[in-house]
């Protein structure tokens, strides 16, 4: 089933990719399926392959295994560390 999701990128991801959001359509069952779709682009998109990546669905922190529904907002951002 093809669904539409809006993807948001924050912090260093936004800077590296040069965009803050994108609308996607595809067969996405989970947040990780959205990420894998983006990773297939290669190049700068490899930034989303970080093991410590954080994500949210509809502005709620979630795991990569979180299911997605049509019209969802998915966000990716790097782990924030403080000192």
In a domain, 30, yes or no: yes
In a domain, 82, yes or no: no
The whole-number pLDDT of residue 81 equals: 58
In a domain, 83, yes or no: no
Q: What is the CATH number of the domain that holds 69?
A: 3.10.20.30
Nearest C-alpha neighbor of 78 from the set 15, 16, 10: 10
pLDDT in tens, 1-58: 789 999 999 999 999 999 999 999 999 999 999 999 999 999 999 999 998 899 999 9
Q: Is 15 helix (H, G, I), strand (E, B) or coil?
A: helix
Residue 55 belongs to what domain range? 3-77
In a domain, 48, yes or no: yes
pTM: 0.93
Query: How many domains in the chain?
Result: 1
In a domain, 7, yes or no: yes
């Amino acid at each position: 089933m093809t669904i539409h999701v809006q993807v948001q990128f924050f912090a260093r991801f936004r800077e590296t990719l040069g965009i803050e959001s994108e609308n996607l359509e595809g067969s996405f069952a989970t947040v990780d399926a959205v990420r894998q779709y983006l990773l297939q682009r290669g190049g700068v998109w490899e930034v989303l392959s970080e093991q410590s990546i954080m994500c949210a669905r509809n502005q709620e922190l979630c795991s990569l295994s979180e299911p997605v529904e049509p019209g969802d907002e998915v966000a990716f951002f790097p782990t924030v560390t403080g000192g």
